[in-house]
Amino acid sequence: MTSTALAEARLALDAVGKLPDAEIDIGAAALQFARIDAPEADWTAARDMLSAIARETVAQATAEADAGDAEARRQVLAQVLHGHFGLEGDAESYDDLENANLIHVLDRCRGLPVALGVLWLHAAEAAGWEAYGVDFPGHFLVALRGETQPVLVDVFHGGAKLEAPELRALIKRLEGEKAELKPGMLAAMPRRAVLLRLQNNIKLRRLRVGDVASALACAEDMLRIAPDHAGLWREVGLMNQRLERISAALVALERALELAPEDKRTRSLIDELRNRLN
């Protein structure tokens, strides 16, 4: 990607940061993140596939789904995304960074739960159906709304419907036999939070291999869509500190403290870094 194209992608993310959450085009935003993360990849092919997914969803929508039957909506989306387009969860190479990059996900038809979830939300929106991400511990889910209660979907496993027994089994598998479902585990996530969870996978994997500079770049791009996220500003400050960029660390940490003035740890760290500059 040329420097001009990279700047174009980042400007698009800056624009997302100014939008109300409900107006965010989640597929388009995820595609801009992917352009930055994989500048050598063909992002236009991914853009075209996003359009194809939207068109196919509208074409396959049934009268029952359009009438508000959430289960009918799940079946349509599962058929389109997993049947027609062949998308699936990548259990074999789960930690591969490509699984969190929408361009590569669309090219390989494999990805992480949250990346596949972005595509489910994109398709549902194209059909005019209400859907939202669910920040289930350790395993991103999607919920589809209809005339009755929402239907929960495991987008990593072919769009399977999850009811209480399956959810209980899932939390025990992820967190141990003593784990139980708790209030709040199925709360709706804002679109911005879904995008941040997607990018967090990239940031954490880069940190895991010691690539702090690349993780920092990822976090800084995340701030473009969430400029008032105190926790992210603190992370940016800490990563700059690790890279001995003390002035940049102070700028980020001071912004974090402005947004969360009760954070005593950040205040203490700012004082420590200021003393290092004296």
Q: For residues 221-237, b (16+ Cβ closer than 10 Å) or e, as one string?
A: bbbbbbeebbebbbbbb
Encoded tokens for 176: 């141990």
Quick: pLDDT tens for 113-124: 999 999 999 999
Quick: pLDDT tens for 58-95: 999 998 889 999 999 999 999 999 999 999 999 999 99
Encoded tokens for 69: 């039957």
Rounded average pLDDT over 181-189: 86
| Single pTM value for the model | 0.94
pLDDT at 178 over 90: no
Domain ranges of the chain: 3-189, 228-277
Encoded tokens for 242: 């690790």
Q: What is the average pLDDT score of the chain?
A: 95
Quick: pLDDT tens for 130-165: 999 998 888 999 999 998 889 999 999 999 999 988
Beta strands in the chain (DSSP E): 88-89, 110-111, 131-134, 141-144, 151-154, 160-162, 188-189
Rounded average pLDDT over 8-36: 97
Number of neighbouring beta carbons within 10 Å of residue 213: 14
* CA distance linking residue 133 with residue 41, whole number of Å: 27
* CA distance linking residue 269 with residue 258, whole number of Å: 14
Quick: pLDDT tens for 225-255: 999 999 999 999 999 999 999 999 999 999 9
